[in-house]
Amino acid sequence: MALVGNKRCKEAAVAIQLWLGVVFAAPLGEAGAELSVADFKFDGPLGSDGAVIEKIGTNHFKMTLGHAPGHPTWANNCQFQIVRNAKGNSLTLDVVFLGGNEFRFNEYFHSWSYDGKNWTPIHWERDSKDSKEGDTLKFPVFEQDTVYCGLQVPMSYEDLVEMVGVWEKNPNVKVYIIGRSVGKRNIYRLEVTDPKSPVPEEKRWVHYFTNQHPGEHNAQWRMVGMLEWLLSDEGADLRRRSICHFLIMTSPDAPSHGWYRTNSEGSDMNRAYRPAGSNRQEQTHEPYLCQVDFEKIMASKAPATSCWSFHTWGGVVDPIFTSGPEIGKIIGPASEFAQILERNDPNDLVKPLSYRKEAKYGSTSWTDGPHMQFGITTILCEGAAVIYTKEKNMESGGVLIKSLAEYWKGTKP
């Protein structure tokens, strides 16, 4: 019996030693292990083509960014996923781009998340104007093993697909797939109107909302806020007397690659419009598909009254107005719209409306191009780089569309 007991004691001792070895080895995913290069992923829903990462200290890494297709001086976005081992660790990330300063990678804030849905803003340490000098993001101690990081308040293509799946169940929404990207992702346009409205289609105001630069995610969430307001009880009257089109992501391949302004063929998506008309030989794939679809709307019995091009730059939301034929004739002057915007914006999310009489960004932009081609009202809707949450960006969209509903009153004559 004693021999058996000793054998069991030895077996127990060996088991304890093995258990201690496991604890102190701290396998991937358990608190206590340092982050390693292998814990980072750059090819998920929010990715960064060409990114290279190296470890330079305890939970301290250097990330060198790659560049956009065909543009060696345009940095890809700083986006990644920590796939394991984050819990219990902080992260200091030094980021550089060796290609130049044409579009600085640290011009705008970033956000991080445990689930890819709920985002916390994080800001650069130096706001360096020299990409080769670089800048640093310092993250807090993480409480979960998986972490996502992306530009502004990120929106992946998968996020959009999920939202489209919800919206298409609403009887006031029609979902159109206007084509597929080079990477075989759907390009969605959502049409929102009341199918039971007594107002004939040709008498409804028609508004077209689109975002070109795929890395300007705050602008995309602004559009989501507009769409959500339109589908609410408050938007019922506008649904009855208008048709609203939303093209939220014109370059759906971009988020997973980290392209800020381009598609896979290197086209700046807001410098690819042709006021002479769409042309497959002179445009790359996605710009051609988007313009063809817009031209179909313009040739229909319910052509667009206004075309809004959504972007992100410094400050709060910054709408810039170019008048079409209805302004000051069928409806009030643009100054009336400015007053309505100010009244509907108690949290100061939108700058006072500004006006343009001449093209500023050129005929190939989605503001000046449609105005030159069709003579319609166009609004360049910039700003929101200091709006740091999804909720506030969506709120700013609500301000815009509520004001639009009041300004484009009644129906077409």
| Percentage of residues of the chain with pLDDT beyond 90 | 89
Residue 324 contacts residue 305 (beta carbons within 8 Å): yes
Is residue 370 exposed (0-12), middle (13-18) or buried (19+ Cβ within 10 Å)? Answer: buried
80-82/110-113 β-pairing: unpaired
Q: Which residues pair with 246 in a beta bridge?
A: 190, 209
pLDDT digits 0-9 by tens, 373-410: 999 999 999 999 999 999 999 999 999 999 999 999 99
Number of neighbours of residue 267 by Cβ within 10 angstroms = 22
| Domains identified in the chain and CATH numbers | 37-151 (2.60.40.3120), 157-407 (3.40.630.10)
Is pLDDT of 105 > 50?
yes
Is pLDDT of 227 > 60?
yes
Between 204 and 31, whose confidence is greater? Answer: 204
Q: How confident is the model at residue 2 (pLDDT cuts 50, 70, 90)?
A: very low
Q: Which helix (H) or strand (E) holds 390?
A: helix 390-407
Per residue, the 3-state secondary structure of 186-221, as one string, reads EEEEEEECCCCCCCCHHHCEEEEEEECCCCCHHHHH
Lowest mean pLDDT among 106-115, 125-134, 262-271, 316-325: 125-134
Q: What is the pLDDT of residue 127?
A: 80
Q: Determine the average pLDDT of the residues in 304-322.
A: 98
Residue 401 contacts residue 306 (beta carbons within 8 Å): no
Q: 216, 185, 221, 151: which is closest to 397 by C-alpha?
A: 221
Is pLDDT of 14 > 50?
no
Q: What is the pLDDT of residue 32?
A: 59
pLDDT digits 0-9 by tens, 129-173: 889 999 999 999 999 999 999 999 999 999 999 999 999 999 999
d(CA 204, CA 375): 18
pLDDT digits 0-9 by tens, 236-247: 999 999 999 999
